[in-house]
Amino acid sequence: MTDPPRRRAHDDGPAPAAVLAEIDAEVAERMASGELPPGLAGELDDLFRSLSPTGDRVDRRRRSVELVARRAVVDVNVPLASSRPGGRVAKRLVRKAVGWYARFFAAQLAAFAAAVARALRLVSDDLDGLRRSVADLAGVMPDAAASPESSAPPGPPRWVPLVAPALAGRPGRVLHAHCGPGSALDALRGAGVDAYGAEPSAPAAAAARSRGFEVHQAGVTEHLRDGGASPLAGVVLDGSVLWMTSPAREALAAAATGRLAPGGVLVVVSPTPDEWARRAGPVLTDLAPGRPWQAETWAFVLERSGLGRIETHRQGPPDAPTEFVVLAYRPAG
């Protein structure tokens, strides 16, 4: 004796297609009665697509500009449908009576909306051009520009003995920005620091992972903003983050400060601008978006970001230091 066929789970209720059809029918009925504006459904669809997280930010920006352009036209022909006796006639009389005034204001509003749409499109086109320029620039940058540590000799950087005691023993994790193949991660973990890395270069990130380190292949600002809300005990800024553009570095400092736990430490390790130019060579210094800041500039920006107890340590010959380390602490309160 065979068992009766099992009922599918979705047979317990109406099928999704039937529910959607019922919703569409109700929307059409309400639009025909004048209860809903005729373009509301399309507007909601466009708004949903413009805000949907499924696409990238460039696509969402373009769809948002297209939405503004499509909505730049103001329709003064309000719907006449009505379920009340004489309602249709009354609406037609009102529309005729105020039609001239409505068209006068609608024309001005439409002209303003069209101007805004054109301005947004120009800004969007400029942003696209800027993105292409940055992509082209990245394509001709030397490989060392991705992560200076990728060409560094093995062994811990000389700043680790100074920084590790400030980070060790603090509850929480420590992020090393642009960690390269992980020599600093190795030294920090050996000193008892729960350190992990963020590295935008795929080969360098793969090399660090092959050594057993946790490394996220991402830009440090992107990782700080999108990598979760858990506070960090420390953030070490190193590598090519030090010659971003000035606005990008300020945004990075703000993002890092926002992720620090109370009492956390933000560390900046940087060669002096002159030493960096000597190490990097003419090609990289000419193509790089910016030059490293001085220690005083970092101290000013970090203090403005809400950090305190800022310490500056210079390394190298006393009369001509080649590297500096800035430690800034987030107040514990």
Judge contact between 148 and 275, C-beta under 8 A.
no
The model carries a pTM of 0.58
Based on the fold, state whether residues 97 and 220 are members of the same structural domain: no
- Does residue 316 sit within a domain? yes
How does the average pLDDT of the chain come out, rounded?
A: 77
- What is the model's pLDDT at position 8? 44
Based on the fold, state whether residues 153 and 284 are members of the same structural domain: yes
SS3 309: strand
CA 185 – CA 167 distance, rounded (Å): 12
Based on the fold, state whether residues 178 and 263 are members of the same structural domain: yes
- What is the model's pLDDT at position 244? 84
Could you tell me where the DSSP H helices lie in the chain? 16-32, 40-51, 57-70, 87-140, 160-167, 183-190, 202-210, 220-226, 246-259, 273-287, 295-304
Band (48; pLDDT cuts 50, 70, 90): low
- What is the model's pLDDT at position 146? 42
- Does residue 5 sit within a domain? no
- What is the model's pLDDT at position 117? 78
- What is the model's pLDDT at position 266? 95
Q: By residue range, what is the domain housing residue 45?
A: 13-139
Longest pairwise C-alpha distance within the chain: 96
- Between residues 76 and 325, the one the model is more confident about: 325
Q: Of the residues 139, 160, 184, which one is the last residue of a structural domain?
A: 139
| pLDDT digits 0-9 by tens, 283-332 | 878 877 788 999 999 999 999 888 988 999 998 888 888 999 999 999 88
Band (260; pLDDT cuts 50, 70, 90): very high
| pLDDT digits 0-9 by tens, 161-209 | 999 999 988 889 999 998 888 889 999 999 999 999 998 888 888 999 9
Sheet containing strand 323-329, strands side by side: 215-216, 195-198, 174-177, 232-237, 260-271, 323-329, 308-315
Based on the fold, state whether residues 94 and 154 are members of the same structural domain: no
Cα–Cα–Cα angle for 261, 266, 267, rounded to 5 degrees: 155
Q: Of the residues 119, 139, 159, which one is the last residue of a structural domain?
A: 139
Structural domains of the chain, count: 2
- What is the model's pLDDT at position 140? 45
Q: Is the pLDDT of residue 107 over 70?
A: yes
- Does residue 6 sit within a domain? no
Query: Which of 249, 235, 220 shows the shortest CA–CA distance to 175?
Result: 235
Query: Which of 257, 260, 69 shows the shortest CA–CA distance to 249?
Result: 257
- Does residue 303 sit within a domain? yes
Based on the fold, state whether residues 210 and 192 are members of the same structural domain: yes
Based on the fold, state whether residues 36 and 129 are members of the same structural domain: yes
- Does residue 8 sit within a domain? no
Based on the fold, state whether residues 202 and 306 are members of the same structural domain: yes
Residues 123-146: what's their mean pLDDT? 57
